[in-house]
Amino acid sequence: MSKILAFTNQKGGVGKTTSVANVGAGLARAGYKVLLIDLDPQANLTRGLGLEAPEYNVYGALLQEYDLKAYPVQENLGLVAGAPALSSFEKVKGDELDREYLLKDLLEPLHARCDYILLDCPPALGLITLNAYACADTLYIPVEAQLYATDGLEKVLEMVARVQRRLNPGLKIGGIFFTRFDGRKVLRRETAELIREKYPTLVLTSTVREAISLGEAPHLGQDIFRYAPASPGATDYQALVQEILTR
Ligand SMILES: Nc1ncnc2c1ncn2[C@@H]1O[C@H](COP(=O)(O)OP(=O)(O)O)[C@@H](O)[C@H]1O
Ligand SMILES: [Mg+2]
């Protein structure tokens, strides 16, 4: 039975996609069978792993136009592509009775074949994200320690509480972790401290530092372990993978 981990934050640019790509690659390297699902209409994960305009994507599968298709990325790692058309999901499926469970149904047959399914959520708390929350076991929330970071965080946590009451009582928060962290900036350090004080049990030990190679790797369609195995980015994501596996 696979575990579904969703990476979510309604804010864009906080490192959701980067984390899905690199935590996924790290888990695959550790020998787990991993499937990544790109749920963002921007499809950055899909492009960042080197797949340009693939024929099959998660949107078509959600609309039952074809079966779910995973493209191989590397050993133990597959990707279900995202597509710009995902932005119509809410309009097209918003009136259906089981609209929050469409992704859950779609992933059901995969449980026997993967150890981990990682969901890259869009930067919004709409129907796609609700579908992710409704089927996830655990949520991870990347946060950039910046002004207003707590606003976004509070919205996510409110939504999680609502989902736990109805759609998915078993949903757990695996943790909040800092991304793009630059300890030289006082404001960032202070914001991180504030968040740690406010959510002492939720903040993970692992922090992903701001690192140029993490921004470069997707341009070559690579994860950080392949692109720059000795870089701080690889070290930080390796530590995050370990924490996710042991926490
Ligand atoms: N730790 C990091 N250091 C440097 N750049 C990063 C880091 N994490 C993400 N980035 C870059 O920041 C941008 C936003 O990250 P991304 O993962 O796409 O965020 P999200 O999916 O939350 O919108 C991307 O250009 C990405 O390459
Ligand atoms: Mg993204």
Going from the Cα of 121 to the center of ligand 1, the distance in angstroms, rounded, reads 14
Which residue ranges have their beta carbon within 6 Å of ligand 1? 12-18, 44, 123, 179-180, 208, 210-211, 214-215, 218
Give the closest residue (by CA) to ligand 1 atom 11. Answer: 215
What pLDDT is recorded for position 53?
A: 85
Going from the Cα of 18 to the center of ligand 1, the distance in angstroms, rounded, reads 6
What pLDDT is recorded for position 67?
A: 97
Give the closest residue (by CA) to ligand 1 atom 6. Answer: 215
Can you give the residue range of the structural domain that contains 183? 3-246
Domain count, the chain: 1
What pLDDT is recorded for position 152?
A: 87
Q: What is the CATH number of the domain that holds 229?
A: 3.40.50.300
Query: Backbone phi, then psi, for 136, in 5-degree steps?
Result: -75, 150
DSSP H or E segment with residue 144: strand 138-144
What pLDDT is recorded for position 204?
A: 98
Q: What is the C-alpha separation between 167 and 142, in angstroms, rounded?
A: 23
What pLDDT is recorded for position 1?
A: 85
Averaged over successive runs of 10 residues, the pLDDT of the chain (247 residues) comes to 96 97 98 98 97 95 97 98 97 96 97 96 97 98 90 93 97 98 91 95 97 97 98 98 96
What pLDDT is recorded for position 146?
A: 87
Give the closest residue (by CA) to ligand 1 atom 14. Answer: 13
Q: How is residue 138 written in tokens?
A: 């655990």
Going from the Cα of 142 to the center of ligand 2, the distance in angstroms, rounded, reads 11
Going from the Cα of 66 to the center of ligand 2, the distance in angstroms, rounded, reads 25
Q: Is 163 left (phi over 0), alpha (psi -120 to 50) or beta?
A: alpha
What pLDDT is recorded for position 215?
A: 97
**Cα distances (Å, whole numbers) of residue 15 to 140, 142, 143, 155:** 11, 6, 8, 17
